[in-house]
Structure 1
Amino acid sequence: MKASKVAYRPVGLALGAVSGMIAGAAFKQAWKVLEGDGDAPDATDEHRSWQEILIAAAIQGAIFAVVKATVDRSGAIATRRMTGTWPG
């Protein structure tokens, strides 16, 4: 295993946690804009329709994927700048 890959592993874990927090906050804000309601539907909320739950899940998944890719790519670029090699 390459040294840059080993060195990046803890950085990647930390970035994953940060990206999850960022994505959660971004989803809450997006949901407020879309629905005007502060609480996104939960899958087990019996008072919400299937349509509303699935739309919320799709939006949340898309936001999470974009934020995670952005944070991971930025972390890899920073690692290359610091070590001279691309992690992975």
Structure 2
Amino acid sequence: MNKMLYKPLGMVVSSLGGLAASMLFKQIWRRVSGEDDAPDATDAKYGWAEVVIAAAVQGAIFGAVKAAVDRAGAESYRKATGDWPGDE
């Protein structure tokens, strides 16, 4: 039963985390590079290093934010219900 209750909540929390990660990456990229958007892999005006570094930074930020948001959601669920999500 816990998984069924947590799944919809987890999906909403994850979606909000994705939006937060996207906004955070955009701000960091703008401050570091002075450009509004990170380079696309197929954009000819950027070199390999710029494209790969941008992708690595974006992936690290998304991974960290996702882990933090998922963990916070699980902790909040535990505090509200007394059960850890997914425990059988």
For 2:42 and 2:12, the matched residues in 1 are separated by 30
For 1:67 and 1:53, the matched residues in 2 are separated by 21
- Residue in 2 that maps onto 1:49: 47
Gaps of 5+ in 1: none
TM-score by length of 2: 0.93
For 1:48 and 1:81, the matched residues in 2 are separated by 48
RMSD, aligned α-carbons: 0.8
Q: Percent identity?
A: 50
Deviating beyond 3 angstroms after TM superposition, the runs of 4 or more aligned structure 1 residues are none
Gaps of 5+ in 2: none
1:28 aligns with 2:26: yes
Preserved CA contact (<8 Å) 1:32 1:38: yes
When the two structures are aligned, how many residues end up with a matched partner?
A: 86
For 1:55 and 1:15, the matched residues in 2 are separated by 28
